[in-house]
Amino acid sequence: MKWRRSRDEGEQRAESEPVREPVAPVLPVAISAVRRGFHERMTAAEAESEPSARARAMLTGVHEFLALAEDDEILGERAELLRRVREIATLAPDAGVRLVARLTGWFGLDEALAREALGAWMTRPETGSFGATWSAASELLTASDSVTAWLTNAVLAARSESPTEQAERSAVSGRFRELARGYLVELVDGDFDTYEFTGSTSPVWQVLYALGPATRPEWFLLFGDRAAGRGEEAEAARRYEMADRFGGGTHARDRLRNLHDIGAHQRLLNGVTDAALLKGPGTPSAYRQLVIGTAGVLTGKTASAALAEAQRDGDHNVRRAAAFVSALDRLRDGDTEAARSRLREFLSAAVDGNGTLAADGPEANARLVLGALDRDDALITAGARQLLSRYREQWPTHSLVDAATVLTAVSRTDSALLTELIGGTTTGLTGGATTGLNGADLDAMRIDTARTYLADAAQAAVFSHFEETDRLLTQAGLLLTGSDSDAADQLRDTATRITDTVARLRAKSAPERPLDRLAFTALRQNGEIHPWTGPALQLWQDYDTAHGQHGGHAHAIAPDSLHHLAIAAHARAYQLEIDGDDAAFEQWRQALGYWARLRADDRFWASLRTRLAATAGDATPAEVANAVDEARGELPAQVLEPHVSLVLQLRKDDLPRARAHLELIRTAAFAPEDISRARTRLAREAGAGIRRLTREGDLERALAEVSAWIDIDSDNIPLAEQALDVGIETAEFEHRRSDRGWAEQSRPVLEGIADLVEPMRAHLGLTARQLATGRRPATGETDRAAFAAKLARYEFWHGTALVVSTYDRLKRNPYEDRTGFRRGAGHLNTALMLGVPAHAPYNKAREMLVAAGQLERSIQGHVLGFL
């Protein structure tokens, strides 16, 4: 391929033409100044004795010539240019690769030259320019499958060599593999959306496969680990799910479970106590049940069921922690005696064979809580000592008993330990002289702790968690008792302002618009304030209608009024739902519309940021903004969650009502990704139950569950994938259990699933006929590509089961139906078109396809002979 270029007209690719080299390297008599200058530069470069200087000089001369010369001059120097490129590639491999890629535009790809340049580069790559050289190398690899195969085979061979063999052969250096892995991993990780569905023939994936691991699911797991390491839980979960969808299996699910365990723990630490947000997708693990139970204790909700599951299913550490939290649960319910009894049993079980209390787990807090209940200063002191040993100056943040109570108890029993607790100077807890109690340090610690409590109290007040606010204000007051410093007085003033703010919020005196005041008055009936009443809801709806008509758009209503309207409409929908009234669906639709408008109303969120910043204590503007943005982002999930729960609840007893709630989710005025997240949640819940039935061998119920779910949400791609999972896991289980008879056992299940997923296959263009005449999934078609990857595995098992079971039947009865060979071959061919994994048993797909054809021809021959 030649390139035609002039200085004025730029570049334009021409038709392919044969390029003839000069018969002899003799220059014509009339040589242009540009070509003469080129040869003079090459001659000067050859005079350089130092190799790197010679390479730089030649490289400068070549690039200058390419910039100044016309096309015919460049084509006339083809032989000389290629000779110089070979020499440059030997002396400076990175520059050589980039130059080969540039010359390909004029002369086409010289595969031999490309291999020479790439081979030298793989032996001696430059660290600083690897990215630029890879871009050029990628152009060469994309232009030639044979060069790509040669390079990846070289990398793969080097991976299996010993260090000694690598040193002797030097085909691909260890440095190259290190740089390639580092650069390509960062490249894919930084733009994962682009590369996740890039075809396996992409140079990036070909080299990554050669570097190892050799499959896409394994790489997805590694990229998921990277996202998890950065704390990007949602992105990590997506990558693990992609690994599962592309064949990652147990490893992906284990990582997902661990990721969600860590995420639940972190959310609890950040103050999230909603069980729906802590449980994660699917059936929660024992650890997440412990977290949910702990959150229940913290918020006064029922926690016994979650804690019982944690104690039943968890490992030793989880069971121990659940036992402790169960004691706190009894204490929260007011059963002090039961709490005392459980704490004593817990501490008794924590003592080892030497009579020493275990140094890990919640034992320290068990001592503190039991000591506070029994007013046992010695027990509190022992718990404080253990906390200090583990957490040093951070002990107050890990104590379940307030710092004032701990410090007071310790001050009566161990002044040396008190000095340690408040940060005074000491030589240690086990002996040596101390400086004694430092009153200034004690006061400073009280002040700092009280300031933290007040900041948390202000934040709780903003979110209307008034009971939590009262508790924190009480704790701050206890800490400030007895301190007459200026700092303590300032904090007392702060506490007074927070108390006044809470009083105003509780009295609902904040609304300034007359209509809002009327509506709030209408919420009060028989001396009680209700979340909604008919008159209040009507007032806000009339206000919304009036502003929508006269203000020119539906968002003209004041944002706080819209917020009140959304809350009241949602509360009425709940009431209608509880009553079983079909009018609930219209009310739900209206409420979701109000919430969607509120989420899009920048005024509301700006106002919330302002109010939060004014009362959030020491929180920085960035922290306030992040908190508000997070709340705004989670609002769709929060208001759609009731419908997800109702679909799960109603689908067994009231299928039409379940479908109606699903329709509310599908038509809600939120972003497509928010709707997709809710529907994916349903698919995950469905998958957990379906997989459990499959593992238990109850295949009939598993298929019935799949069918019911697809009937509820027919175009939910992840739900259709659950059907494929049943077939894949059934075949894998039967195959592992018995090499003989597995196909006969699996075949009915696989054929039943084929009917269930056929509409989805047709919708996505993945039937055998569509694949033969259409196209495979491309980059950006996330769901289609993921479904296709799982469909490929299902088609492999379906085809293999048909071939093997037909063969087994014919051995028993030569008159048995033989069409299973042809049908099985069709499924195996579809699996290969979709792209099966490279690992066993899927790497036998082509071999099984050939066997199916041979068996069909062999059987036909026997039939003809018999006749």
pLDDT in the model for residue 13: 44
CA distance 126 to 136: 14
Interaxial angle between packed helices 559-578 and 621-650, expressed in degrees from 0 to 180 and rounded to the nearest 10: 20
Percent of the chain residues past pLDDT 70, beyond the cut? 80
- The DSSP secondary-structure symbol of 434 reads B
Question: Which of 91-100, 503-512, 675-684 is the least confident region?
Answer: 503-512
pLDDT at 794: 92
Is the separation of the CB atoms in 717 and 676 below 8 Å? no
* Whole-number Å distance between alpha carbons of 202 and 195: 9
Q: What is the pLDDT of residue 3?
A: 42
- Please report which confidence band the pLDDT of residue 797 belongs to, taking 50, 70 and 90 as the band edges: very high
pLDDT on residue 515: 56
* Cα atoms found within 13 Å of the Cα of residue 794, Cβ hemisphere only: 28
| 318: confidence class by pLDDT, cuts 50, 70, 90 | confident
Q: Cβ neighbours of residue 803 under 8 Å, at least 6 residues apart?
A: 743, 820, 821, 824, 825, 828, 848, 851, 852, 855
pLDDT for the residue numbered 422? 65
Taking residues 696-702, report their average pLDDT.
77
Over the stretch 168-180, which tens digit does the pLDDT of each residue have?
A: 455 788 889 999 9
Q: What is the pLDDT of residues 114-156, one digit of tens each?
A: 999 999 999 999 988 898 999 889 888 888 888 988 998 889 8
What mean pLDDT is predicted for residues 308-324? 81
In this prediction, residues 537-566 reach a mean pLDDT of 65
Model confidence, pTM: 0.45
Confidence of residue 520 (pLDDT cuts 50, 70, 90): low
φ and ψ at residue 386, rounded to 5 degrees: -65, -40
pLDDT of residue 411: 63
CB-neighbour burial class of residue 816 (10 A; exposed 0-12, middle 13-18, buried 19+) = middle
Please give the backbone phi and psi of residue 88, each rounded to the nearest 5 degrees, phi first.
-65, -45
Please give the Cα distance from 45 to 37 (Å, whole number). Answer: 12
- pLDDT of 361 reads 53
Q: How many CA atoms lie within 13 A of 29 on its CB side?
A: 0
Specify the pLDDT at position 859.
58
What's the mean pLDDT in 444-455? 74
Q: How confident is the model at residue 505 (pLDDT cuts 50, 70, 90)?
A: low
Q: Percent of the chain beyond pLDDT 90?
A: 5
* 765-795 per-position pLDDT tens digit: 888 888 777 666 655 567 788 888 889 999 9
Top-confidence range, 431-435, 701-705, 752-756 = 752-756
Is residue 317 pLDDT above 60, yes or no? yes
Residue 86 predicted with pLDDT over 70: yes
The token pair that represents 557 in the structure block: 């209503």
Query: Sorting pLDDT into bands at 50, 70 and 90, what band is 552?
Result: very low
Query: Omega into 841 within 30° of 0, i.e. cis?
Result: yes
Q: Rounded mean pLDDT of the chain? A: 77
Per the model's pLDDT, the better-predicted residue between 356 and 271 turns out to be 271
Q: What is the mean pLDDT of residues 819-842?
A: 87
204-242 residue pLDDT tens: 988 988 888 888 888 888 888 888 777 777 788 788 888
Beta bridge partners of 528: 525
Read off the pLDDT of residues 567-602 as tens digits, 9 standing for 90 and up.
888 888 888 888 888 888 898 898 899 889 888 888
pLDDT of 25 strictly over 60: no
CA 562 to chain centroid: 33
Q: What is residue 737's three-state secondary structure?
A: helix
Residue 162's pLDDT is: 54
Whether the predicted pLDDT of 350 surpasses 80? no
Q: Encode pLDDT of 374-426 as tens digits.
A: 888 889 988 888 888 888 877 877 888 877 678 767 766 776 786 677 653 23
Query: In Å, how far from its chain's centre is CA 520?
Result: 42
pLDDT digits (tens, 9 = 90+) for 285-297: 787 888 888 887 7
Mean pLDDT score, 271-283: 75
CA gap 200, 448 in Å, rounded: 58
